[in-house]
Amino acid sequence: MTDKYTQFVSRGIGKDVAKKLGLPQPVVLRRYQPGQALVPGPILVQGSSDGADELAAALLAWDLDVRRHAVPREKLGAIVLVLDELDHAEDLERPVLSAAASLRDLAPNARVVTVSRTPASAPGPASAAARQGIDGLLRSLAKELRAGATANGIMLADGVNTTSPSALGALRFFLSGRSAFVDGQFLTVASGEGQLPADPEKPLAGKVAVVTGAARGIGAAIARTLHRDGATVVVVDIPAAGDHLAAVANSVRGTALQLDISREDAGHRIIEHAVGRHGRLDIVIHNAGITRDKLLANMDQGRWNSVLAVNIAAQLRINDALLASRDFRDSPRIVSVASTSGIAGNRGQTNYAASKGGVIGMVRATAPLLAERHGSINAVAPGFIETEMTARIPFATREVARRLNSLQQGGQPGDVAEAIAFLASDAAGGITGEVLRVCGQNLVGA
């Protein structure tokens, strides 16, 4: 669905009117296009550690325009603040205030990315305080940036260096237009697993991916994005959506499987189709989901059970089949679609929020089970996304929901698909058990 307000206030008289009246001033976001420059200007890498030097060298090897010191009034495409050797909260002052001096030089749709260590692995209270302080700092900064700029962070487990495959993969994702609607978020790189693609434009080349709930909306966008990135795609949806499913399969030159994923044998059917038709199975995207909204006081058994059956019970059974299969053992990837409702809650969605919270718990508990086969499982939690479902929300409620994030607009199905495509790639092999919100940084709730 088109956000006409954002288009109106992004230029000319509309921009002037919004400014004079104090209205929200969202801008059209710079979303990824094949062949697009990674960032809209030079990258300033700040930090005095060896990790900062190594990261700057890696970016130079990508033929990017890298600065180690700010040039006054030069428009920057990104600031990368490397804080991997931070030991005390007092140590934040110099690098953070140095970066602050360059914030006014950020170009529209620029990026700020921090690279730091996880608080959980800190050797003591002082170090943990400093590391956790970056969390609050980054999320607050993300709410201060304007003109489509975003701020996100990468946290490294101890022993993982700044140029490990997944650290570089996460950095590339956060710098690029693929992360246009990801703001105020962190990804933890837990290990040195993963591998950067030979061709950044085709990071999924040679992979076979299954996408459930793929007949329309976000699922169809996921299928198209995975295909664009080089994957062979199997699209799955219920028989009633057969015509739409066939159209998506044709558009991605993949195959369609008409299947109710709540069936007991759904996992075996999916494996059988992918391996039988395409010879392998590398990626499974759990996108299928339903809503049956009602206040809990008015909730009935049918609404409750149907949502839990499709949104979480089906995923658990399919994952059991995947984990038991010999055909899902070569660095496999699972990505589940959760929801910000499963994190912050939402009125009238107790059943849906319970199911999506369940997805998050499932992802975290399944991650160790995939580790022995060098696999990963992660979740993406969308916020307000422009879909057929949100288009049915009453106008006033829809407009408020669109503006209640740092980017002051709704996301697109493609924004969710881009995050999923990254987490499904080998470049994210060291990232597992994570929940990445694609919500423009909601201003309320968790």
Domain ranges in the chain?
38-189, 208-438
Q: In the prediction, which pLDDT does 446 show?
A: 47
Residue type present at position 102: S
Average pLDDT over residues 375-391: 90
Residue 407 token pair: 């980017």
Q: In the prediction, which pLDDT does 397 show?
A: 78
Average pLDDT over residues 233-262: 98
Q: In 3D, which of 252, 214, 216, 247 has the Cα closest to residue 233?
A: 252
38-189 shares its CATH topology with 208-438? yes
Confidence of residue 444 (pLDDT cuts 50, 70, 90): low
* pTM exceeding the 0.75 threshold for the entire prediction: yes
CA gap 446, 402 in Å, rounded: 17
Residue 232 token pair: 């062979």
The CATH number of 208-438 is: 3.40.50.720
Average pLDDT over residues 424-445: 91
Q: Which one is catalytic: 32, 174, 352, 384?
A: 352
Average pLDDT over residues 417-430: 98
Q: In the prediction, which pLDDT does 443 show?
A: 65
Sheet holding 66-67, edge to edge: 66-67, 43-46, 76-82, 106-117, 150-156, 186-189
Phi and psi for 329 in degrees, rounded to 5? -130, -5
The angle formed by the CA atoms of residues 318, 322 and 324, to the nearest 5 degrees, is 115
- Given a cut of 90, whether residue 240 has pLDDT beyond it is yes
Q: Which residues touch 90 (CB under 8 Å, ≥6 apart)?
A: none
What is the Cβ-side half-sphere exposure of residue 103, based on CA atoms within 13 angstroms?
19
Q: In 3D, which of 200, 249, 234 has the Cα closest to residue 422?
A: 200
Among the four given CATH numbers 1.10.10.10, 3.40.50.720, 2.40.50.140, 3.90.1170.50, the one describing domain 38-189:
3.40.50.720
- Considering only 41-50, 261-270, 381-390, which range has the smallest mean pLDDT? 381-390
Average pLDDT over residues 195-220: 97
Percent of the chain with pLDDT over 70: 99
Reply yes or no on whether 352 is catalytic: yes
Q: In 3D, which of 270, 126, 213, 222 has the Cα closest to residue 417?
A: 222
- Given a cut of 70, whether residue 56 has pLDDT beyond it is yes
Q: In 3D, which of 97, 333, 348, 351 has the Cα closest to residue 210?
A: 333
Burial of 98 (C-beta count, 10 Å sphere; 0-12/13-18/19+)? middle
CA gap 264, 245 in Å, rounded: 22
CA gap 374, 195 in Å, rounded: 11
Q: Alpha-carbon torsion 121, 123, 126, 130, what sign?
A: negative
Please check whether residue 166 is in contact with residue 402, taking contact to mean a CB–CB distance below 8 angstroms: no
Confidence of residue 109 (pLDDT cuts 50, 70, 90): very high
Q: In the prediction, which pLDDT does 391 show?
A: 73
Confidence of residue 323 (pLDDT cuts 50, 70, 90): very high
Q: In 3D, which of 112, 200, 190, 207 has the Cα closest to residue 152?
A: 112
Please check whether residue 155 is in contact with residue 116, taking contact to mean a CB–CB distance below 8 angstroms: yes
CB atoms within 10 A of CB 122: 18
What is the Cβ-side half-sphere exposure of residue 277, based on CA atoms within 13 angstroms?
18
